[in-house]
Amino acid sequence: MVELLSPGHTTCAGCGVAIAIRQLSKGCPNDVIVSNATSCLEVTTSAYPQTSWNVPWIHCAFETASSTASGIEAAIKKLNKPWKVLAIAGDGGTFDIGLQAISGTLERGQKVTHVCVDNEAYMNTGVQRSGATPHDAWTTTSPIGKKSSGKKQGKKPILEILAAHRIPYAGSASIAYPADLVQKMKKAFEKQPSFVHIHCPCPAGWKIPESDTVKMGRLAVETGMWILYEIEDGLLKINKRFPNRKPVSEYLSLQGRFKHLAPENVKEIQASVDKRWEELEAQEKAGLKFLY
C-alpha cells in the first residue's frame, strides 16, 4: 500500500475528493503511476513548484487522463516492468469531455484502472452542470427560476456505459463506505482494464456544511440516491441494500442545491430512484451477463 498524497494540499475543508484519494490509496499497489486530468484534485495538489504526490504523477489536459494513461501503459509494456497505471478524473473529465479517451483505452483492452471522483458538477471552474449532475439540481448553468427547477436531465449511467465495453471490472463506491471502496480498488487493479466510480460530496458546490461530507455520502446510499454495486466479468451484484430505504427527501432537504424543490419534484425523484433500484435488482436476479 502507498499513500498517494502527502499532507499540505490545498483542497477545501471537507473535500470529498481528498477523502476519496486517501481511501483509495489503501487499495493501491506500491508501484503505481498516476495520470491526473485537470480538476479540483489536480489544481490543489500540484501548485508549481510544489507537489503533494508521493508517486510518479503526470498532469494532463481535462480530456486526456485516459489517453495519457494509455501511453504510460504502452511504455511499461515496452520496458517489461510490473508497474500499474491509475487514471483519475472528475465527473467532467469522465462523463463528458474525457469519455472518448476512456472508451478508446477500454476498447483496446489496455491495462489501466480508471477512477472517477464524482462531485456531480464542474466544481473547479465554478459549479457548472455536468453529465453527472442529478436531475433538478441547481448549478450556475442550470439555474433555478420561474421556468426552471434546475438541471432538466438525469445523471448519465456512466458505469453501465463503460461496463458495456466488456471490461473485467466496474464498480461504484462511496467515501462513506471505505471498506467497500478499498476492496473495489483492489479488484480494479487485479482485473484491468477497470473502472471505479466514487461518490464525493462537495461542501462548496452542494451548499452543505464542511462537517457533513461523510454524512451526506452515507445518506445518499441509505436513500438509494447512490447505489453501491459492481459488474464483475459481466455479472451485476448489489453490494449494499437496506430493507427499508430512507426517503430521498432526507437527503435532498439538507443540500442548498436542492432547496428550491417543490413536493412534486421530490416525488418525481423518489419514483426515479425506485425505478432504478428495480432495474438493477432485476438484472442481478436474472444472473445474465451484462452485454457479454
Percentage of the chain beyond pLDDT 90 is: 93
User: Which residues, 6+ apart, have CB-to-CB distance to 231 below 8 Å?
Assistant: 159, 160, 163, 169, 170, 171, 237, 290
What pLDDT, in 10s, does the model give residues 242-268?
A: 989 999 999 999 999 999 999 999 999
Determine the pLDDT at residue 289. 84
Per domain, the residue ranges of the chain are: 16-286
| DSSP character at residue 182 | H
Do 124 and 38 touch, CB atoms closer than 8 A?
yes
The C-alpha cell that represents 284 in the structure block: 442481478
Predicted confidence band of residue 148 (pLDDT cuts 50, 70, 90):
confident
Q: Which of 201, 186, 228 is nearest to 26 (CA)?
A: 186
Query: Does position 292 have pLDDT exceeding 60, yes or no?
Result: no
Do 134 and 91 touch, CB atoms closer than 8 A?
no
Q: Which of 66, 8, 15 is nearest to 205 (CA)?
A: 15
The C-alpha cell that represents 131 in the structure block: 453529465
Do 16 and 175 touch, CB atoms closer than 8 A?
yes
Q: Is 241 helix (H, G, I), strand (E, B) or coil?
A: coil
The C-alpha cell that represents 74 in the structure block: 504502452
Q: Mean pLDDT score of the chain, rounded to an integer? A: 96
Predicted confidence band of residue 191 (pLDDT cuts 50, 70, 90):
very high
Residue 126, sorted as left (phi over 0), alpha (psi -120 to 50) or beta, turns out to be left
Determine the pLDDT at residue 286. 92
What pLDDT, in 10s, does the model give residues 57-100?
A: 999 999 999 999 999 999 999 999 999 999 999 999 999 999 99
CATH T-level topology, domain 16-286: Rossmann fold (3.40.50)
Q: Which regions of 182-262 does DSSP assign to beta strands (E)?
A: 194-199, 229-232, 235-238
User: Looking up cell 421530490, which residue turns up?
Assistant: 266
What pLDDT, in 10s, does the model give residues 35-48?
A: 999 999 999 999 88
The C-alpha cell that represents 112 in the structure block: 489501466
User: Looking up cell 432495474, which residue turns up?
Assistant: 279
